[in-house]
Amino acid sequence: MGRFRDALAGSGLAAIAEIKRRSPSAGELRPGADAAVLGASLAASGASAISVLVDARFDGSFADLRAVRAATALPLLAKGFFSSPADLEAAKESGADAVLLLLRDLDDAQAAELQSFASSLGLDALVEAHDAEELGRAVALDADPIGINSRDLSTFHVDRKRQLELVAQAPRDRVIVAESGVRSRAAAAEAELAGAHAILVGTALMTASDPGAMLGSILARPLVKICGLTRPEDVEAAGEAGADLAGFVLAEESPRRAEAVLPVPDTMLSVAVLVGELRETGADLVQLYEREDGHRGRDAVLLRDGRTVARVVDLPWQSGDPEHFTRARATEGRVVLAGGLSPENVAAAVEAVRPWAVDVSSSLEVAPGIKDHERIRALLEAVR
């Protein structure tokens, strides 16, 4: 495997930042953009690799690829409708580390030939699938990395739900890239929790006033979960402040019990908080505590479709623990830090633990289940 694939395979979620001036579906995105300037900015903002459209339909060219190569040492993906060894040679000569192969346009023999030729040139091949049949073909072709695109290239419709289903079905031993439709931290996290190693982000960056800042925002950690929500206006306030996860406590004994999981903005994911046993809630994620002596246990697991995707490190029920941060730091995998957090101490907690997410509830209330919107905004300002 080459440096492009290796750049995406590390711990945490990687991002391929895409440079394209226009698209057939959205029209002009960033006309006249300087590819080299964009490449340097995106590299400085946390990209693990950069994708460069080299097709004229996107107002791109191999000259753009050469310009970005001169501007950054990051691995570069040449993105076009490649169908011949000559296409791959042109990409290699222009500075590419990887090329895109679309299974929609290639039969298995053609794809295998191009994969082999790419390898002989020292190029990785990102083999792109759009449906279950193509994903099966990519796996059979031993493709690694595999791109899963939520955009139908015939209609340009983006189906994020179907994309995430395919990401979850993909083999865990391959590097999986979720492509298209990522415009927020929550969408990026959703792909990550489904099993993606990386996201490819293009349109959201190219239409932003500051593409580098937009990329940094999408990749920013920790995520922020506002829990104990019971009212639509509080959900709205949390979303407007920049929170990523909305928590709804469904345990009967909680003073913050919500009747149901409320609708959330498309920049957030919903989290149903349960104690004792799983049940269907309609939420994107479930935070499950064991029941101990009539109340929640200390820690919880965060579940996506029944699979543990993170550990919630909490304080004991109605108690403290001077070793709380030490326990959290020692926990492997994604850590959601909960318990005793507030706008006043969350920055220090993040610095001490470096969690994947923070979970805050009672310190933001004027009464159980009723949020103080100023406190929510203060919390987000402290975290970001």
- 147 forms bridges with which residues in the sheet? 128, 177
pLDDT, position 23: 83
pLDDT, position 7: 97
Q: Which residues contact 298 (CB under 8 A, 6 or more apart)?
A: 292, 314, 315, 316, 317
**In this structure, what are the phi and psi dihedrals at residue 285, rounded to the nearest 5 degrees?**
-135, 160
**In this structure, what are the phi and psi dihedrals at residue 295, rounded to the nearest 5 degrees?**
-145, 180
Task: Characterize 176-211 residue by residue with b for buried, 16 or more Cβ atoms within 10 angstroms of its Cβ, and e for exposed.
Answer: bbbbbbbbbbbbbbbbbbbbbbbbbbbbbbbebeeb
Helix axes 62-71, 85-93, angle to 10 degrees: 30
Closest by CA position to 218, among listed 47, 372, 75, 56: 47
**pLDDT beneath 50, residues of the chain:** none
pLDDT, position 155: 67
- 302 forms bridges with which residues in the sheet? 287, 310
The Cα 197–Cα 219 span in angstroms is 13
pLDDT, position 27: 83
Q: How is domain 3-219 classified at the CATH fold level?
A: TIM Barrel (3.20.20)
pLDDT, position 104: 93
pLDDT, position 291: 92
pLDDT, position 154: 64
Prediction pTM value: 0.93
Q: List the domain boundaries for the chain.
A: 3-219, 223-383
Topology alike, domains 3-219 and 223-383: yes
Task: Characterize 218-242 residue by residue with b for buried, 16 or more Cβ atoms within 10 angstroms of its Cβ, and e for exposed.
Answer: bbbbbbbbbbbbbeeebbbbbbebb
Six-digit token pair at 196?
A: 């993606």
Closest by CA position to 128, among listed 67, 39, 200: 200
pLDDT, position 264: 97
**Which class in CATH covers the domain with range 223-383?**
alpha beta
pLDDT, position 156: 67
pLDDT in tens, 110-128: 999 999 999 999 999 999 9
